[in-house]
Structure 1
Amino acid sequence: MAEEAAQRTGVTIRELHRIPEFRDVHRLFDDIWHPDPANAPVSVELMIGFAHTGGYVAGAYEGERLVGASVGFLAAGGALHSHVTGAAIGRGIGYALKLHQRAWCLEHDLARITWTFDPLVRRNARFNLVKLGARPTGYAENFYGVMADAINEGDESDRLLMAWRLDEDLEQPPPPPYTVALGVDDEQPVRGRADGPVTLVATPRDIETLRRRDPGAGKAWRLAVRDVLGGLMREGGSVVGFTDAGEYVVTTRQSRQSQ
């Protein structure tokens, strides 16, 4: 499955072990995120350490050109924590990298892959929850502090903590009706009702563009999703899906106990 996904995108994925390869990854990530020099996603030295101690550092190559990479380290409980993955958007390279990562974990008797992502980024939410079948295990406010890069500049780094359980059946969303805990009107978040057994929490269509065009609206989304989605999860709610319209599907503890 992993090899087929790579072939469909026209890339070859392999583990990396040499310093020049790690430098290429550092440059690729710099081209993707344009970070402040003090805020690089991962340093060459850390990649050397991760690879040397049994961690995961892999690159996707189109011929001799690096077009995607993923870096992870071993974590407690038989897991790989996928620290950072970056690739060209819209070509399927990121998906091929995740399948390579999954195959690597199974070969090394690891049952889970964990990572974090910004809950406001709709395309990543759909990729993580729908395409991969990972599920959030927690909501962390300002997890990395305020980040200095071209994508996250000026915003607090709230993150969903994700777990991709490689050896378990996936919980599926229950059928409608749902209540809308957070909706959207004219690109602005609109609070609704969070008292139903299954609720929807909306996301902005493109938070990265919205943050640049209207920082106030971006801040409003950050606070609204933090309050609504984070609040539901703190009260025992579970995110079990993501709709085509860009909404998290959240079940309450009471709804699961009654099933």
Structure 2
Amino acid sequence: MTAEQITAERTAAERSEAAARRAGVEVRELREIADFEAVAALFDTIWKAPPTAVPITVELMIAFAHSGNYVAGAFEGERLAGASIGFLAGPPGTTLHSHVTGAAVGRGIGFALKLHQRAWALAQGLTRITWTYDPLVRRNAHFNITKLGARPEAYLPSFYGRMEDAVNAGDESDRLLAVWPVAGPRVAAACACDVPEPAPAPADAVVALGERDDRPVEGRGDGRVLLVATPRDVETLRRARPATAAAWRRAVRASLGGLLDDGARVTGFTAAGEYIVERS
């Protein structure tokens, strides 16, 4: 291991510990069945999934932890307040795929878990962490792109098929694949700043997908830099106006998915809830 790698690993661990202190938690890897059962109970309060559609089972967490994968929890004293589970992915020796993370929103616990995950990955000699998220959920896009410095690299239509939990039921499970190069300068800078500012919309950007009266509006697709809007609160739309939520799903799939399929790349996410997409 080089001196630069040792320094990066040490700095990542320090930032992880600092983020945990700010959130008022201790983040640690889990080994005991009682801890895995507490994760299952916590996730049930978040997703309210039927028994046949839980995010992850206790048995699978045990197997992951036993075989050297990532299973960690954030504790407030003795109470579990968040957890994250990931598994080693290909190419071998390079990637951790973060399968599921759940925590209270707005308290910094999710940020602390991700920084712990990053420090763990660097200590294992890994170069990146990947995960999927719903492209319509603004707070997740802001968290992943702005706060963590990750970048979506692929649009995955109906990735998980039909989902029956309280968060996703009634909608298709389109996902973006986020890629987090754990030693990259953008990621290191994001992890050093607790609340980075959202990216401003470039002056030359054109609107590929806009919003009017909470509905998607198709724009132009001929710019080098394009903006793709998202709904203000898709989870409320799914419950109150499912047809509008479905319209947003189709519109973002066609616009953002089409651009990524054509080789464009996401470079930021604005305060107004727009993906900034640039053609090469």
Same fold? TM cut 0.5: yes
Give the paired residue count.
253
Question: What is the distance in 2 between the residues matched to 1:197 and 1:52?
Answer: 48
Work out whether 1:96 is the aligned partner of 2:112. yes
In percent, how many aligned pairs have the same letter?
61
In structure 1, the gaps of 5 or more residues are 254-259
In the other structure, the counterpart of 1:20 is: 34
Give 5+ residue unaligned stretches, structure 2: 1-14, 188-198
Corresponding residue of 1:189: 216
User: 1:154: Cα distance to partner?
Assistant: 1.2
CA–CA distance in 2 between the matches of 1:200 and 1:212? 27
Does structure 1 residue 4 correspond to structure 2 residue 31? no
1:175 Cα deviation from its structure 2 partner: 3.9
- Tell me, what secondary structure is at the counterpart of 1:23? helix
Residues 200 and 271 of structure 2 are in contact (CA less than 8 Å); yes or no, is this contact kept in structure 1?
Answer: no
Match in the other structure for 1:40: 54
Q: Does 1:252 align with 2:276?
A: no
Q: Which residue of 2 aligns with 1:198?
A: 225
The equivalent of 1:256 in structure 2 is none
- Indicate conservation of the 8 Å contact 1:139/1:159, yes or no: yes
Deviation at 1:168, TM superposition (A): 2.5
Q: Contact 1:189–1:224 at 8 Å: present in 2 too?
A: yes
**1:162 partnered with 2:189:** no
Shift of 1:176: 2.2
Q: Deviations over 1:19-50 (max 9, x none)?
A: 11101001100110001110000011110111
C-alpha contact 1:22 1:47 (8 A) present in aligned 2: yes
Amino acid of the structure 2 residue aligned with 1:131: K
Contact 1:173 1:240 in 2 (8 A): no
1:113 to 129, 141, 151: 129
Q: CA deviation at 1:174?
A: 8.7
Cα RMSD, aligned residues only = 1.3
Deviation at 1:169, TM superposition (A): 3.5
Does 1:212 find its partner at 2:239? yes
What secondary structure, in the 3-state scheme, does the structure 1 residue paired with 2:203 have? coil
The DSSP-based 3-state class of the residue aligned with 1:227 is: helix
Distance 1:65 1:223 in 2: 40
Specify the SS of the correspondent of 1:100: helix
Alpha carbons of structure 1 residues 170 and 176: separation in structure 2 relative to 1, 3 Å: farther
Show CA shifts across 1:99-156 (max 9, x none).
0000011111111000000000000000000000001110000000010011101111
Does the 8 Å contact 1:173/1:249 carry over to 2?
A: no
The equivalent of 1:57 in structure 2 is 71
C-alpha distance after superposition, 1:141-196 (max 9, x if no partner):
00000100111011110000111001224499994210000000010000000110
- Report whether the alignment pairs 1:239 with 2:266: yes
Q: Which residue type is aligned with residue 237 of structure 1?
A: A
SS at match of 2:129: strand
CA distance in 1, matches of 2:186, 2:276: 14
Asked whether the 8 Å contact 2:103–2:109 carries over to 1, the reply is yes
Separation of aligned partners in 2, 1:146 and 1:248? 26
SS at match of 2:17: helix
